[in-house]
Amino acid sequence: MEHRAYWAMKQLNMDLNAGEKRLLQLNELDKFRMEAYENAKLYKERTKKWHDMHIQMRVFEVGQQVLLYNLRLKLFPGKLRSWWSGPYTVTKVLPYGAIQVSNENKGTFTVNGQRLKHYWGGDFSKRKSTVQLETPE
């Protein structure tokens, strides 16, 4: 009778050491989980380091002229269209990189400092000019 019971357990793939094997599998699972947490942590650190390296630190002062990056143009991009609108005037520098800007037409609003860049231009002549080129001999 005992022989048949052993044979039946073997046929149903129920090993006598199943409990020990199950504990080993659980320990292995914990090991894999800890490695996954470690890898995720390393990935996040590397990604943050790369992101921080590519942030441009710009310092703005009240009264400066700036250009604002226009996010809405991504929906309808034009090949030769400028992504920057403005110029705007900085009215207040807020903590954590927020800048309050104003424009005569659009009023005053607060934007992220990463969306701004310094405006160095002035008034340009909008008249067309032509240059006659001579043929080389």
Under 8 Å CB-to-CB from 94, ≥6 apart: which residues? 100, 110
56 or 98: which carries more pLDDT confidence? 98
pLDDT at 124: 60
pLDDT at 48: 95
pLDDT at 42: 96
Residue 123 in domain: no
pLDDT at 121: 78
State the residue range of the domain holding 41: 2-53
Residue 137 in domain: no
User: What is the average pLDDT score of the chain?
Assistant: 82
Q: What is the CATH number of the domain that holds 101?
A: 2.30.30
Number of domains forming the structure of the chain: 2
CA 31 to CA 27: how far, in whole Å? Answer: 6
Q: How far does Cα 87 stand from its chain's mean position?
A: 26
pLDDT digits (tens, 9 = 90+) for 123-137: 666 666 777 888 887
* pLDDT of residue 94 exceeding 70: yes
Q: What are the helix and strand counts (H, E) for the chain?
A: 2, 5
* pLDDT of residue 4 exceeding 60: yes
pLDDT digits (tens, 9 = 90+) for 13-26: 555 566 777 778 88
pLDDT at 26: 82
pLDDT at 73: 57
Same domain for 74 and 46: no
Q: What is the pTM of this model?
A: 0.53
Q: Are 113 and 61 in contact (CB under 8 A)?
A: no
Edge to edge, the sheet with strand 116-118 lists 107-112, 98-103, 84-93, 65-69, 116-118
Cα angle: 79, vertex 81, 85; to 5 degrees: 155
pLDDT at 123: 63
pLDDT digits (tens, 9 = 90+) for 42-93: 999 999 999 989 887 788 999 999 999 887 756 666 677 778 887 899 999 9
Q: Are 91 and 101 in contact (CB under 8 A)?
A: yes
Helix, strand, coil percent values for the chain (each to nearest 5): 40, 20, 35
Under DSSP, the state recorded for 75 is T
Residue 79 in domain: yes
Query: Where does a domain end: 30, 53, 76?
Result: 53
